[in-house]
Amino acid sequence: MAELEKQKIVCPGDFLGVEEEFSPGINTFGDSEGNVFSTSIGKPVYDKEKRIVSVARKGRMLKPLSTGATVLGQVQLVKQNSVVIMLFSAEKNGKPEAILTVAAGLPISRVSRSYVEDLSSFFRIGDIVKASVAMVTKQAVDLETTSPELGVVKGYCTKCRNELESAGLNLKCPNCGSIEQRKISKDYGKI
């Protein structure tokens, strides 16, 4: 802590301490593991009497990504047990949230309420996905797409890369006629 007190400026996401020593105060947040981090650029202020750590802000405040936030991102990798999604926007209750971690994981267990055997029939590289934040730790962000409004909102043909159109329970390429499966959001085509 002595090192942290000497630190002149912290940035969003910088570690400030553990909740056993100091509770999160203004411009800070605690994660699920009991660690406290900064949400803005500024000087850390440790109130030893009240056992609270805050950050005296230097610039605009960032609200970190939180559980339940809705995110949009692009599929970067489809693995056997998870999908890696590059995040580009987030909001919760109509208010934007800061994305401090660029990539998030979508585990196979959080894709659908029914059994998922092959993730490549639900997501493909390049698809734009709407998901909900299921868990946030300092190492990772886990997403879920079990609700009907979550899933692929814009898909691309695996043969010719044209944008796919909704065709009932599947997607169809208007260019080459390819019929493809995805975990389609009820908001498909609206983004």
From first to last of the 191 residues of the chain, give the pLDDT tens digit: 444 445 578 877 788 999 899 999 988 888 878 899 887 778 899 999 999 999 887 655 556 788 999 999 999 999 999 999 999 889 999 888 878 777 899 999 999 988 888 899 899 999 999 999 999 887 789 999 999 999 999 999 999 999 999 998 999 999 999 999 999 999 998 87
Q: Do domains 2-57 and 70-153 have the same CATH topology?
A: yes
pLDDT given at position 4: 45
* CATH number at 2-57: 2.40.50.100
CATH architecture entry for 70-153? Beta Barrel (2.40)
What are the residues whose beta carbons fall under 8 Å from the beta carbon of 112, sequence distance 6 or more?
Answer: 122, 145, 146, 183
Domain ranges across the chain: 2-57, 70-153
Angstrom CA distances, 118 to 26, 80, 121, stand at 45, 7, 6
